[in-house]
Structure 1
Amino acid sequence: MTQLSIALPRLNATGRDDFMVSPTNDTALALVDQWPDWPDRRLALVGPEGAGKSHLAAIWAEESGALRLRARDLKAVDAPDLADRPLVVEDVDRGVDEEALFHLWNACAQKGNGLLLTGRGMPSDWPVKLADLKSRLSSLTPAVISDPDDMLLSVVLLKLFADRQLQVKPALIGFLLPRMERSFIAARTMVEALDRESLARGVPVSQSLARTLLEG
């Protein structure tokens, strides 16, 4: 009998109970949890792509009542109103209106509201040219998420499969770990490839399918 494979909607779980704590992110979590006692009520959340920055930012936003927006969507004219509540600005390293972020920084400081910035790499290395803004970013306390260890990468893979409503056996995770790059983005790419191949072949995600995919 041919098994039907149906593309199911992705479910991105972003609650605190869904955040997977390990030695690679526990310090970052502890720093975020120090709110509202951050230095000057500001913090940078940094780490590689797919590390869980958005998840941790979502946890803080839920608990602090913060608004979340992408750095690319920030406009200077909006800064005074945005600063009326705690705020998350994500992916600053990917590009931002520097004047807008500078005005937002000052407005948040004047109103005493929290500001959480996220990005890859340290804030001092973000591609910012405005000297006053670069100086402010360099002063931020960084909450750093590191590349995953085996334990965290295993749980990340399981979560990525679960987000796609795919149930997999633990043996598949054990098979994948020594055969893939140790990074969050590699885990995401692997799960996407297996899901896509499963749908194309009309078979479940399994160790056999993973072997076929990896061995070409």
Structure 2
Amino acid sequence: MTGSQLPLDLRAASDQRLDAFHDAPAVVAAVQAAARGERPDWLYLQGPAGAGKTHLLLAACADAAHTGRRALYLPLPAMAGQLAGALAGQESAALACLDGLEAVAGRREDEEALFHFHNRLRAAGGIALYAARSAPAALGLGLPDLATRLGQCTRLPLALLDEAGRRAVLRARAARRGLELDEAALDYLLRRVDRDLASLTALLDRLDRASLAAQRRLTIPFLREQLRGG
């Protein structure tokens, strides 16, 4: 089987591509090489919420699928308590991206399921990309062998974007939609809405539809109307 497998009908959005990830070029290069099977390293993305871990995992799946490799994305918070069933038979994936490791920490059955999957995937020649907010030793895992396995992965730290980085990402994502955001409009948005990239991207999608329907540019009066209405 080729292509990607994204449970719960989750699909990579147009912005969730490796070439759309702002900053951290060394991390992007490592993730892309893993997605394409060009390096054997298993990777562990570590950073706070909003640092782009999910973006990179979904982008890796899309990149792997583009080259005909089977990729699996699993959001572990959604699988907590049932991880053994979700991972059954999935070791045939060329790339397995497991997001939110902290969700299974302290759940003995889930930890054991992940440990055995890790071993099966490695034996089958696949590559895993893990993502978590904390280092393996700080996750609070009850299974020492699992913490050891995760600690053997190459760790890639991620940090939150600063103000300039958020502005650059928002501007680039607006341009990809054919939207013009001048500095005044950017200032207006960043002062009045949630500043994490997921929220900002969702807002851009809504503004894109509204702008197209109204045939209006993203001026401050138009943004004010949309934010009041939303």
TM-score (structure 2 length as normaliser): 0.64
The alpha-carbon distance between structure 1 residues 84 and 58, as it changes in their structure 2 partners (threshold 3 A), is same
2:8 corresponds in structure 1 to none
1:68 corresponds in structure 2 to 73
- Number of aligned pairs? 194
1:170 corresponds in structure 2 to 182
2:46 corresponds in structure 1 to 46
Aligned residue runs from structure 1 range 98-177, under 5 A? 98-158=111-171, 167=179, 169-171=181-183, 172-175=185-188
Please say if residues 50 and 160 of structure 2, whose CA atoms lie closer than 8 Å, have aligned partners that are also in contact. Answer: no
2:102 corresponds in structure 1 to 93
Please provide the CA RMSD for this pair. 3.9
Give secondary structure in 1 for the equivalent of 2:122.
helix
2:29 corresponds in structure 1 to 30
Say whether 1:82 aligns with 2:90: yes
Percent identity over the alignment? 24
TM-score (structure 1 length as normaliser): 0.68
Q: Distance in 1 between matches of 2:133 and 2:143?
A: 19
1:8 corresponds in structure 2 to none
Q: Distance in 2 between matches of 1:189 and 1:169?
A: 13
Offset at 1:27? Answer: 2.2
2:17 corresponds in structure 1 to 15
Offset at 1:100? Answer: 1.2
Provide structure 1 residue ranges, at least 5 long, that are not aligned to the other structure. 1-10
Offset at 1:150? Answer: 3.6
Q: Distance in 1 between matches of 2:61 and 2:120?
A: 19
Q: Distance in 1 between matches of 2:145 and 2:58?
A: 28
1:3 corresponds in structure 2 to none
Give secondary structure in 1 for the equivalent of 2:51.
coil
The alpha-carbon distance between structure 1 residues 105 and 189, as it changes in their structure 2 partners (threshold 3 A), is same
Provide structure 2 residue ranges, at least 5 long, that are not aligned to the other structure. 1-11
Q: Distance in 1 between matches of 2:178 and 2:133?
A: 29
